[in-house]
Amino acid sequence: GEDVEQSLFLSVREGDSSVINCTYTDSSSTYLYWYKQEPGAGLQLLTYIFSNMDMKQDQRLTVLLNKKDKHLSLRIADTQTGDSAIYFCAESLYNNAGNMLTFGGGTRLMVKP
């Protein structure tokens, strides 16, 4: 079965780097995702990485994928107070139902000024 796990909480100081970690179990995952959810809002797609890649960088965001250990991380450089939110990782398996996502429980990031 599929299972995606994340730590519940992370606190960092403004200007520091944040690293949010995620582990997954389905080795046949096609893509792995990071979503951001601000209070009272829906999920915003931040970035995603294809399963045959090791790293993807997009401005302040760096995604690292260790497929052997089934470990995914999201690094946010120069973390700002506006980055405070819940971050969800998700894995997908593309099949005839489209892109079915399995989500982790979310990591709440708190950025202290």
Partner 1 sequence: DAGITQSPRYKITETGRQVTLMCHQTWSHSYMFWYRQDLGHGLRLIYYSAAADITDKGEVPDGYVVSRSKTENFPLTLESATRSQTSVYFCASTPTGSYEQYFGPGTRLTVT
Check residue 96 for interaction with partner 1 (CB under 8 A).
yes
Min separation Cβ 103 and partner 1, Å: 4
Check residue 92 for interaction with partner 1 (CB under 8 A).
yes
- Cβ 89 vs Cβ 103: under 8 Å: yes
Among 18, 76, 85, 106, which residue interacts with partner 1 (rule: CB under 8 A)? 106
Per-residue x/- marks for partner 1, 38-77, CB under 8 A?
---xxxxx--x-----------------------------
Say how far apart CA 56 and CA 53 lie, in whole Å. 8
Q: Which residues contact 87 (CB under 8 A, 6 or more apart)?
A: 6, 20, 34, 35, 36, 37, 46, 74, 106, 107, 109
Residue 69 or 97: the one with the smaller Cβ distance to partner 1 is 97
Min separation Cβ 41 and partner 1, Å: 6
Residues of this chain that interact with partner 1 (CB under 8 A) are: 4, 30-31, 33, 35, 41-45, 48, 88, 92, 94, 96-106
